[in-house]
Amino acid sequence: MAPYCVLVSRLQQALSKGVRRYHASRVLCQRAKVAMSQFEPSEFVNYEKLEKNINIVRKRLDRPLTLSEKIVYGHLDDPAKQDIERGKTYLRLRPDRVAMQDATAQMAMLQFISSGLPRVAVPSTIHCDHLIEAQLGGEKDLRRAKDINQEVYNFLATAAAGVGFWKPGSGIIPNQIILENYSYPGVMLIGTDSHTPNGGGLGAICIGVGGADAVDVMAGIPWELKCPKVIGVKLTGSLSGWSSPKDVILKVAGILTVKGGTGAIIEYHGPGVDSISCTGRKMATICNMGAEIGATTSVFPYNSRMKTYLSKTGRAAIASLADEFQEHLKPDPGCPYDQLIEINLNELKPLINGPFTPDLAHTVEEVGAVAEKKGWPVDIRVGLIGSCTNSSYEDMGRSAAVAKQALAHGVKCKSQFTITPGSEQIRATIERDGYSKILRDVGGVVLANACGPCIGQWDRKDTKKGEKNTIVTSYNRNFTGRNDANPETHAFVTSPEIVTALSLAGTLKFNPEVDFLTGSDGKKFKLEPPDADELPKLEFDPGQDTYQHPPKDGSSQHVDVSPTSQRLQLLEPFDKWNGKDLEDMLILIKVKGKCTTDHISAAGPWLKFRGHLDNISNNLLIGAINIENDKANTVRNALTQEFGPVPDTARYYKKEGINWVVVGDENYGEGSSREHAALEPRHLGGRAIIVKSFARIHETNLKKQGLLPLTFADPADYDKIHPVDKLSIVGLKDFAPGKPLKCIIKHPNGSQETIVLNHTFNETQIEWFQAGSALNRMKELQKH
């Protein structure tokens, strides 16, 4: 017999339509509360509120809604009065939860402590995944990380009441940990990691933000987001052979480029969606790399594969509830998209993107010839699988299936080969099921459950800095120097199974679709396309318990930060705007070309200073190329005329009480969510960043710290500014939303030019600037 709620649903569908159906179903169908996660039994999934808000907005807009709109508008603070215009208005939202990784959590928690609030207002967690350096292998690297980062881990574990703590070795935050425990259809989660959108693989809206945004949500303040546009990606056909879901996002990246998704949510739909394997997880791979095209986030509609994954990870009750509300977890028929891309999965070939940018797409078939033509090294030094993008059970299984074929012919990897499990649960399960042994037998080294080489936490020994070489990874980013701090490392991103195949061959010139390997017996053999279970036949093995519950009462907690610590430093408020125009500012650097957050605030060895603003400021813009001399980390001091490191020059200007600006190119600040790339210029005396265009998260981070992110009204004006000029930004007394500012360029010969600078500040954000930062403004409001 059909469940009572289903019978009620059928009855009221026959009797009524539209909004009235909502009232009938919810009055007649009383249901038990369902916890958001096993770790927070008193925090419940609230689909009723989501539905109520969606119905209010649907009535106002009077049109079909995309899935993205349903979930985003379903979390509006005031759905009845909120102005809603895609790409223009700012939405005030109430996310359900916050997740932070250990590198960005340090500054987020230092800011939260500065707010003076006793505990967080929404469920929040910290995940220790960024501070573990890949060196010798999983267990040894984990022990070393716990030892050298003990001060930071102790701080994060006790920094605020109500914050759950995932210990080192738990796994990667936006990857398996969020998917296994916190992401579910319709939830809105923000995370201080740019790959938080991974959770969209389970039908969630998960958005990467800076720490100051996380503080707003943890403080119970509505969170602001510019109303996203929605780019639809219609999938038809089905994947086969060596093609994988990774190829879907590599294809989209090739179409949209690294900034084509800026200000938009990528919404996948169409009949091809149901063909994508590995419930939630492979869809998550696609959502994860949406960050590489600048997207606010990405999302898939709820389907049976997600239900299976939820049930397999102990959340069958959420799956049942999602079934009842599934009309709100899918796009409406005929909903409008701002842009529509169609991909026929039947025609999709295996892709490999790079080097130096994740949107430079090649087929695996052609990349070897392209590399030879371009002078890129074709011999592969290291193959690396894992990271938050591809480290699921199925990912490991497909790679093991390739490796098993090679072992059957007596073949091992010609390249070095590393494996990074996505979580302790994945590590334990692939160990139990034999995948780890196969991957070790073929020559692999299993690293700790952490980010590792993907974010530059790699103590690489096989090459010297400046040595030209090639690596292939299943990661998401391949910016210059990102993985190993070597600007001559040519990094390519592809699927785990292609990485494994290429590592066996040791060259980019190998195409597993047509080429042969030679076995130990001298006979040639061809690798068959891999196949693997998307979920384990047995239950997942949880492995070691790595979760620490937060204290229920934080009144007795006391956070100590030593004034002599080199890892942690309490924050001092930034100075308020003095009410005057910013006149005769020096140009710290005019950046040439791509400038990611890795260029602005490098990771790798600098991660250890993420909780100490003054120390980490010593890496400010050290990777950016100075247009004056085509060199990194060497700029002219306008006062001494000597060339020196960027941070030293900024400190000199600050000591002399002189304001400075940075001038940049397109998509400035793409990449990571790290707000240190905004905190550092503010700390060292910067006042404005003037560029052709910004990446979304970085622009917001700059605003939060009281800086002026401004864009050229005419991009050609970039060429009018020379590194030796002085700049004045005028009109700040009349600073208002939608009203451009003027910039007076003063050349050394005494001549002047005036150009127009645009901005995207709203009234609240202007108040941040005037108060000196968003945190300063929060404190002002608390006093009132």
Pick the closest to residue 697 from 357, 190, 353, 251 (CA basis).
190
Out of 281, 310, 344, a domain closes at 344
Asked whether residue 13 carries a pLDDT value surpassing 60, the answer given is no
Q: How confident is the model at residue 5 (pLDDT cuts 50, 70, 90)?
A: very low
650 domain-assigned: yes
Judgement on whether residues 151 and 197 belong to the same structural domain of the protein: yes
Q: What pLDDT score does 763 carry?
A: 96
Domain of 366: which CATH number? Answer: 3.30.499.10
547 domain-assigned: no
Domain limits for position 130: 67-344
Judgement on whether residues 662 and 757 belong to the same structural domain of the protein: yes
Q: What pLDDT score does 259 carry?
A: 87
- Catalytically annotated residue among 58, 94, 119, 130: 130
Asked whether residue 113 carries a pLDDT value surpassing 90, the answer given is no
Q: What pLDDT score does 21 carry?
A: 34
Total tally of structural domains belonging to the chain? 3
- Which pair of tokens denotes residue 386? 């894992």
Please give the full DSSP string across 466-493, using - where no structure is assigned.
T--EEEEESSS---TTTTTS-TTEEEEE
Judgement on whether residues 222 and 257 belong to the same structural domain of the protein: yes
SS3 153: helix
Judgement on whether residues 313 and 372 belong to the same structural domain of the protein: no
Judgement on whether residues 314 and 402 belong to the same structural domain of the protein: no
pLDDT tens-digit map of 59-89: 999 999 999 999 999 999 999 999 999 999 9
635 domain-assigned: yes
Out of 526, 551, 571, a domain closes at 526
52 domain-assigned: no
* Residues counted in the chain: 784
Active site residue 672: yes
Domain of 694: which CATH number? Answer: 3.20.19.10
Residue pointed to by tokens 């980062």: 149
Residue pointed to by tokens 């195949």: 501
Q: Is the distance from CB of 112 to CB of 218 less than 8 angstroms?
A: yes
46 domain-assigned: no
- Catalytically annotated residue among 672, 673, 693, 773: 672
- Catalytically annotated residue among 96, 102, 141, 193: 193
Q: How confident is the model at residue 556 (pLDDT cuts 50, 70, 90)?
A: low
Judgement on whether residues 215 and 260 belong to the same structural domain of the protein: yes
Judgement on whether residues 611 and 757 belong to the same structural domain of the protein: yes
Active site residue 129: yes
Out of 344, 374, 403, a domain closes at 344
Asked whether residue 1 carries a pLDDT value surpassing 50, the answer given is no
Q: How confident is the model at residue 755 (pLDDT cuts 50, 70, 90)?
A: very high
Calculate the average pLDDT of the chain.
91
Judgement on whether residues 218 and 336 belong to the same structural domain of the protein: yes
545 compared with 18, residue with greater pLDDT: 545
**Contacts (Cβ under 8 Å, ≥6 apart) of 20:** none
Q: What pLDDT score does 31 carry?
A: 63
Active site residue 143: no
761 domain-assigned: yes
- Catalytically annotated residue among 96, 102, 129, 395: 129
Judgement on whether residues 132 and 165 belong to the same structural domain of the protein: yes
pLDDT tens-digit map of 207-254: 999 889 999 999 999 999 999 999 999 999 999 999 999 999 999 999
304 domain-assigned: yes
Judgement on whether residues 283 and 206 belong to the same structural domain of the protein: yes
pLDDT tens-digit map of 144-192: 989 999 999 999 998 877 899 999 999 888 668 999 999 999 999 999 9
18 domain-assigned: no
Active site residue 477: yes
Active site residue 31: no
773 compared with 29, residue with greater pLDDT: 773
Judgement on whether residues 407 and 323 belong to the same structural domain of the protein: no
- Catalytically annotated residue among 477, 610, 612, 683: 477
- The secondary structure of 373-397, three-state, reads HHCCCCEEEEEEEECCCECCHHHHH
Judgement on whether residues 416 and 454 belong to the same structural domain of the protein: yes
